[in-house]
Chain A
């Protein structure tokens, strides 16, 4: 069955289904209960599931994230909501030093089935402490899985996928996408964690992207058609693990690569992807790889400056055209 809904509604439905399916699932975070979620994702949940399972926490990111880890060790299936990626840094100790290490450090004795959700990305003029895209950073950490739902289908499915995973999974929801609309097929089998999806097939160049940049890339691909450029657009979906197979297959088909990554360029996931293509598919390339990232500054408040800093469809078009000129 298919229905049209917003990204917010899709996440909400995913959460609701998970809560209904498994009594061990609970949601914990700042303003998830009485307020209804800072992005209104869990609106109505407190009434439906009660304060035992929808837990408003104090502004103690480190402690309640760590409590999520502890509860996961104790057999529960916690979902911790960290309001925004910048706030997740206050819980970085728990994520990195405990969630990601416990299984290995204990010689395989203690796994941590924890799901952490947070909003990511700029574009809402929220300035330099609420707008960043640090998911690529988290993808650096062995022991974690990093998901970046872009489509309505994934906004919904990734909740279930993450909860079914025995290890810590981080879900980065794009703040810019909560109001976007699309189709959810509730019968469709979810594409597993670690699989990228070809969102638009093409033969001339491969655009690799994730999160809200996916739609900018798709828009750019449309603009490129009359120019005679047929772009393949791939939604990475998961930044750790990365789907090398799908990436390399596409490179072997198009021989040209443009990566669109809302993170900062230096040490970014785009750099990692380039390195992997270099290692695994160098001789497939007909031109140097290109990438479009966010300007390397703390995001500024004024709209025109923020716009100038972030990736946009017109920039993608320009870079794609330039890439096609090279051989």
Chain B
């Protein structure tokens, strides 16, 4: 880690932070509708993770995926247009906030069924193994997914078949509004992965350097054929679960305590020479540009409502 990388990390985390703050503003203006799940507070995971991946690797994410999509390199303009439901969006406006897809960066969504993406990641990794491709599939999910059967089934398959998957659990301590301690007999999630004979570890998810280092090591192990691997990143979302959440289930004091570990502040404390002001200006421009792009985007014609159901309709 050097200042150049610290700058890059800071810039990317700041982009996610400011992008989502803008989304909140646009939500109140009713430009963005539906569900909007914010990643604010958890940016270190997406940024540290995506830095360690190659373009040929695949990413399966959840409905809280703006940060991952931005960090993976999907154009902010296309993401914002998707939020607006415009044709220029990364999913042609059909998906919205929870279903960002992008073939170019091998970003496979954006799944809003908790744990529903794990089997897909296992299958993608299986295809890589079968076709002798040295690629890694990353599967991101939250602590809520751990309670689903698909979590356990998928970990078992990945370990049983020695698949090149990196499981990334973002443990922000709450499945929507219910704390992990009320739903899991064992709250150390990495132990569950270990029980499937998967190399697993808890890592500080507020520290972008730690995240990046862990993923770099894991990815090189996986490329050597030593997959799957599992990380539980301890993190916290600073905002509500979604725009409809009054946050009655957690103490303000707890939130404030975690805010002291803000990944942006943490990184800046360590690298005092990061040029924050420069990035603030730069990012404000990027976001303005994205909003303008989305505003000027086109709405899909109603005539095409039933398109994209079957492949022959895509080709037309």
Contacts and interface: CB of A to CB of B under 8 A. Distances in A.
Contact of B95 (A65, A70, A106): A106
A75 B130 CA distance: 10
A222 to B, nearest CB: 38
Nearest to A111: B311
Contacts of B137: 70
Contacts of A73: 108, 120, 123-124, 127
**Which of A64, A66, A69, A93 is most buried by chain B, counting CB atoms within 10 A of its CB?**
A66
A104 B153 contact: no
Interface in A37-70: 52, 57-58, 60, 62-70
B116 A105 contact: no
A57 B130 CA distance: 16
Interface string A65-106: 111111111111010000000000000011001100011111
Contacts of B253: none
Interface residues of B, number: 47
B154 A107 contact: no
A109 interface: yes
Interface in B230-269: none
Contacts of B308: 103-104, 107-108
Interface in A204-235: none
Contacts of A166: 310-312
A110 interface: yes
Contacts of B149: 60, 62
A26 interface: yes
B192 interface: no
A143 B94 CA distance: 15
A58 B156 contact: yes
A167 B310 contact: yes
A75 B127 CA distance: 7
Interface string B118-157: 1111111111101100000100000000000110011011
B153 A76 contact: no
Contact of A70 (B92, B123, B310): B123
Given A63-B157, A93-B113, A105-B109, A26 B309 contact: no
Interface of A: 26, 52, 57-58, 60, 62-76, 78, 93-94, 97-98, 102-111, 142-143, 166-167
Given A70-B122, A76-B126, A97-B111, 18 more contacts: A26-B130, A57-B157, A62-B149, A62-B153, A63-B154, A66-B120, A70-B120, A71-B124, A71-B127, A73-B123, A73-B127, A74-B58, A74-B126, A74-B131, A93-B116, A104-B308, A106-B94, A106-B99
Closest 5 CB pairs between A and B?
A: A70-B123, A66-B119, A107-B92, A74-B127, A63-B153
